[in-house]
Structure 1
């Protein structure tokens, strides 16, 4: 039986609470990220919730920065990994960006770089540490 992942853009508090709960489990509880680093720029971000059978499975967001459009906080609950949730989130976020979005980038945890490469992101610069985890900056270069 195939898993159907539903991703929706959310702004209602009830949905945002689900987004924040997913991120708390993945980043704070599982990956030991400092909570004070996890909860920033929430009001200026556009949030997404991924669900499987109506249950929260993943979350992500994008926001406009002084450099361009930054994709952030991609989180998939451990029990839902390998079911296409991450891919569905990346697709939804990229499809939601304004048409005039020129510079699109993210800071990918090293183990997640293969996912982003599938969508046309390229690693640039050296690896760096963010919240105690190794990351690569990646820039979107769509296939023409």
Structure 2
């Protein structure tokens, strides 16, 4: 590591204390910043595999994956404002993709427009029309 460089670690979490950090990050980003309705934010928690990113030990980002009837869906990528631009999002995507089961042949997500370039770096391609979810414009993206 370079001097002054921050250390980003992403780990799969299942303990309540870690999940509380995940949910706090999502609440701040989606409900606080992006005005998503809270009732849309909290669903499928029990069937999802959750991840927490820390920067120098401080909670910085979160995401999850879950199996759906279509395949494996990556969801709820959130990075706290003060940690944006440090590569936390890339580390989250990289870690989640590496965690998917070997049989995960169909992997997709609904990307907010400003995040599409991040997912494209990992081989995701936009499919279908633009749509609105929780008042925010998205595209479905599928990993190729």
Which TM class, normalised by the smaller chain length?
Answer: over 0.9
Query: TM-score normalized by structure 1?
Result: 0.97
Q: Which residue of 2 aligns with 1:100?
A: 103
1:120: which partner in 2?
A: 123
Counterpart among 87, 90, 106 of residue 90 in structure 2: 87
TM-score by length of 2: 0.97
Aligned length: 141
Look up the SS of the partner of 2:28 in the other structure. Answer: helix
| Matched residue, 1:46 | 49
**What is the root-mean-square deviation of aligned Cα atoms in Å?**
0.4
- Runs (4 or more) in structure 1 with deviation over 6 Å come to none
**Structure 2 stretches lacking a partner, 5+ long:** none
Structure 1 alignment gaps of length 5 or more: none
Q: Note the alpha carbon deviations across 1:38-73, whole angstroms, 9 max, x for none.
A: 000000000000001111000000000000000000
- Helix, strand or coil for the counterpart of 1:33? coil
